[in-house]
Amino acid sequence: MATSRKAALSERPAAPAGRRPPGRTAPKARLSPAERERQIIDGAIAYFSEVGFSGQTRELSKRLGITQPLLYRYFSSKQALIERVYQTVFEGRWNPAWVSLMRDRSIPLRERLVEFYRQYSAATYRPDWLRIYLYAGLSGPVLNQRYINHIQRELLPVYCREVRHYCGVESPDLPVAEEEIEFVWSLHGGMFYYAVRQHIYLLPMRVEFMRKVETAIDNFLAGARVTYPRLIASLHGAAAAPAARRRR
């Protein structure tokens, strides 16, 4: 990400590379393939997130300060570049430490959730990520399915077990049910839609994000104290009956 900023700054050099002062980063001249590739990907993320994937390769190359055929030396087709953009954005911004954070019972659950959304929003609730995420979803569900499934398998079950613990209804033997996953999706969805309103619809947000996060988490947890035990009980009733039968 720091690299993306750096690359963005080095756009639009004036002089057509004539000489190369030693020790100075030449703005436009020959770059090493790795460097150039990186620059193209970063530029493509910025460009496509702005105009969508129907944006033209000529305009992209113009913004990069290179000619359009050069793109095809590094990517065999526009589609190949697009898929590289997807991959970079989706796989590059997930932090596995978030799962550990969520599991860390030395911190009150409320604070864990607040801290998680602070970090998660800093990584993904940004215009480029959100726009590419939505463009991707509209052009084909596969990548978003993978992303959602990742969250649903890695993060949310932990989330659920911690909410169980918080509500005093720990059932280590009872696997996390779909109803529970869906239950915590509600909280997550509220945050996501805030980000969409802010960064995609560009609405003036009159309540700061972290303040909203705290309010939403407080309400979620206060409600969970009441409704989560009921939810677990209904699952026990439905799931434990056959299990009990098996036990006999």
Residues at the contact surface with a second copy, assessed by CB under 8 A = 52, 54, 131, 134-135, 137-139, 141, 144-145, 148-149, 178-179, 182-183, 185-194, 196-197, 200-203, 206-207, 211-212, 215-216, 218-228, 231
Q: Which of 11, 52, 57, 240 binds DNA (CB under 7 A)?
A: 57
Alpha-carbon distance of 229 to 168, in angstroms, equals 8
What are the CB-based long-range contacts (under 8 Å, 24+) for 109-113? 109/162, 109/163, 109/165, 109/166, 109/221, 110/217, 110/218, 110/221, 112/162, 113/213, 113/217, 113/221
- Enumerate residues 218-237 that contact DNA by CB under 7 A: none
Over the window 1 to 20, marking each residue x when it contacts DNA by CB under 7 A and - when it does not, the resulting string is --x---x--x-----xxxxx
Compute φ and ψ for 28, nearest 5 degrees. -120, -15
Q: Which stretch binds DNA (CB under 7 A): 56-64, 86-94, 142-150, 221-229?
A: 56-64
Residue 26 vs 134, nearer CB to a second copy: 134
From the CB of 168, what's the least distance to DNA, in Å? Answer: 57
Closest CA relative to residue 156, chosen from 178, 171, 141:
178
Q: Which stretch binds DNA (CB under 7 A): 70-78, 97-105, 114-122, 233-241?
A: 70-78
Alpha-carbon distance of 223 to 186, in angstroms, equals 12
158's CB contacts (< 8 A; 6+ apart) are: 99, 102, 103
- Token pair in block for residue 125: 């609730």
Q: Which stretch binds DNA (CB under 7 A): 54-62, 103-111, 127-135, 144-152?
A: 54-62
DSSP 77: S
Closest CA relative to residue 158, chosen from 88, 103, 222:
103
Residue 37 vs 115, nearer CB to DNA: 37
What residue 113 binds from a second copy, DNA, none (CB within 5 to 8 A, per partner kind)?
none
Q: Which residues bind DNA (CB under 7 A)?
A: 3, 7, 10, 16-20, 26, 28-33, 36, 54-59, 66-70, 72-73, 76-79
